[in-house]
Amino acid sequence: MKLWGGRFQKETDKQVDDFNSSIRFDARMYREDITGSMAHAKMLGQQHIIDPAEAELIVKTLGEILEDIEAGNVEFLVDAEDIHMNVEKLLTDRIGAAGKRLHTGRSRNDQVALDIRMYLMAQEKEIASLLKALLGVLTELAKKHLHTIMPGYTHLQKAQPITFAHHLMAYAQMFMRDADRIADCHKRTAVMPLGSGALAGTTYPLDREFVREQLGFSKITDNSLDGVSDRDFALELAADLSILMVHLSRFCEELILWSSHEFSFVEMDDAYSTGSSIMPQKKNPDVAELIRGKSGRVFGSLMGLLTMMKGLPLAYNKDMQEDKEQIFDAVDTVLLCLPVFTNMLSTMKIHEDVMYKGAGGGFTNATDAADYLVKKGLPFREAHEILGKLVYYCIGKGCALDALTLDEYKQFSPVFEEDIYRAISLEACVAERSLPGGPAEEAVLASITRCEQFIKNFSL
């Protein structure tokens, strides 16, 4: 018979049991379910809501059940529906009457909210620490490439020279924001819902603060209806993870592009590439492609969660059982992608010479040549026009700006002098951009230092 079978005259249809049951995906919350129940039982004993000796027996037996599950000695039952009732059934099978007192002053509605919050709190910590490891690799790599000049792009057309360090640190900014967002979401995840009951709280004198403290939450929920029906923390996490995946996906797209024969800026380590079953020469950046591809799963989870929650009346509805597969898949995907991405990055070969050569073509120093004229007193629009004509002239000649003679320069403006060549060297183009946030060495170094401080101070 079901734990709730009292008012029923018939067994549940087998098909309905399978359909209704969530054990195949919520079993992974067994640890949270058991530690949550231990704290609840301890509190019930302390408050003399149940006999303290029975509370002690419950806590002890739950500990044994936990060990048995971890040792692989427990088989969960589909007809016990979910992890909450599976654990309760294991408990009552072992200690009978005492076990039946555990659910006093509690509902599965506040219990499941507790479990999923606890589970996600741990996952958020894990993701934050993986982000820190990735930031560590980015800063180390950036320090090595402060002088590695490469072309910067807009519209995927060569724009202005930057350094590889500057490019890497752009991603570091994104990943720091991701970590911050997850930390912010963590604040709203770490709110303890037990005591909300099914929806309207409970008449027992529960000590909610004691349970909160035992389980490492920072506050208790403030409204019992909201306590059982809030899934904002899961929506928020899915949104944060979606943004994180956008960042990984953009980075992967660049690495894929840069690994192509046409770019050849980087080469993935053999250990992070795969071959082709037909083309012997192939070395494919599959890891980067898969991460780019997996971003879709995470966005899908966010959309699934939003759609599932939209329009639900207060308070708990069974629809909400669907939250788990979505958020678990989003978390699993990110946990899978982050470490492999970090290692791929740290083992990748960088072709500095090709990057440098790439920075030279495509008139990436044309803005600097215009700025040169401005510094000599010309209005910027006029300088822009002169440079436009110069570039057109160079295209006709098939040469770069620095290949022109001073006489040729002077045909376009008498203001040009010998110092134009230094002003438009790639090194000068980068070094002159030393404002905070720019690609010059001192600016990037300052940015690296701030990122290192972030890594040191950030904790969840």
Residues designated as active site: 155, 276
Among 61, 295, 301, 321, interactor with ligand ARG by CB under 6 A: 321
Stretch that binds ligand ARG, among 69-77, 165-173, 317-325, 408-416 (CB under 6 A): 317-325
The interface mask with ligand ARG, positions 154-183, x = CB under 6 A, is ------------------------------
Q: Is 221 in the site for ligand ARG (CB under 6 A)?
A: no
Instruction: Examine residue 236 and tell whether it contacts ligand ARG (CB under 6 A).
Output: no
88 closest CA partner among 109, 102, 78:
102
Least distance between ligand ARG and beta carbon 299 (Å)? 23
Please say whether the beta carbons of 138 and 175 come within 8 A: yes
- Cα angle vertex 196, ends 48, 6, to 5°? 75
State which of residues 109, 148, 196, 413 lies at the interface with ligand ARG (CB under 6 A): 109
Contact between 424 and 372 (Cβ < 8 Å): yes
> 268: number of CA atoms within 13 Å, CB side?
27
Among 42, 89, 103, 108, binds ligand ARG (CB under 6 A): 108
CB of residue 186 vs ligand ARG: minimum separation in angstroms?
A: 22
Site size toward ligand ARG (CB under 6 A) is 10
Tell me, residue by residue from 110 to 139, as one string, x for binding to ligand ARG by CB under 6 A and - for no binding: --x---------------------------
Binding status of residue 82 toward ligand ARG by CB under 6 A: yes
* Contact flag: residue 29 with ligand ARG (CB under 6 A): no
Q: In terms of CB distance, is 22 or 249 closer to ligand ARG?
A: 22
Asked if residue 326 binds ligand ARG (CB under 6 A), the reply is no
CA separation (Å) from 33 to 73, 124, 188, 371?
Answer: 17, 18, 20, 65
Tokens of 291: 């991460």
In whole angstroms, the minimum distance from the beta carbon of 112 to ligand ARG comes to 4
Residue 104 vs residues 3, 261, 354, 415: alpha-carbon distances, Å: 13, 67, 70, 88
Stretch that binds ligand ARG, among 7-15, 140-148, 318-326, 403-411 (CB under 6 A): 318-326
Nearer to ligand ARG, 7 or 318 (CB): 318
Nearer to ligand ARG, 82 or 124 (CB): 82
Spell out a b/e string for 4-35, using b for 16 or more CB atoms within 10 Å of the CB, else e.
Answer: eeeeeeeebeeeebeeebbbebbbebbbbbbb
- Which residue among 39, 43, 192, 320 contacts ligand ARG (CB under 6 A)? 320
- One DSSP character per residue, 369-406 reads HHHHHHHTT--HHHHHHHHHHHHHHHHHHT--GGGS-H
Phi, psi (degrees; rounded to nearest 5) at 16: -70, -40
Smallest distance from ligand ARG to CB 36, Å: 13
State how far the Cα of 229 lies from the Cα of 309, in Å rounded to an integer: 9
22 near ligand ARG, rule: CB under 6 A: yes
* Torsion over CA: 60, 62, 65, 66 (sign): negative
DSSP string over 11-35: PPPHHHHHHH--HHHHGGGHHHHHH
Structure tokens at 1: 């018979």
Of the ranges 118-126, 217-225, 243-251, 315-323, which one interacts with ligand ARG (CB under 6 A)? 315-323
231 binds ligand ARG (CB under 6 A): no
Q: Distances in Å between the alpha carbon of 167 and those of 160, 247, 284, 341?
A: 12, 13, 23, 17
Nearer to ligand ARG, 261 or 318 (CB): 318
Cβ–Cβ < 8 Å for 236, 118: no
224 part of the interface to ligand ARG, by CB under 6 A:
no
- Rounded to the nearest whole angstrom, what is the least distance from the CB of residue 25 to ligand ARG in the complex? 9
Residue 308 lies near ligand ARG (rule: CB under 6 A): no
d(C-alpha 365, C-alpha 278), whole Å? 43
Residues that bind ligand ARG in the complex, under the rule CB under 6 A:
22, 26, 82, 108-109, 112, 316, 318, 320-321
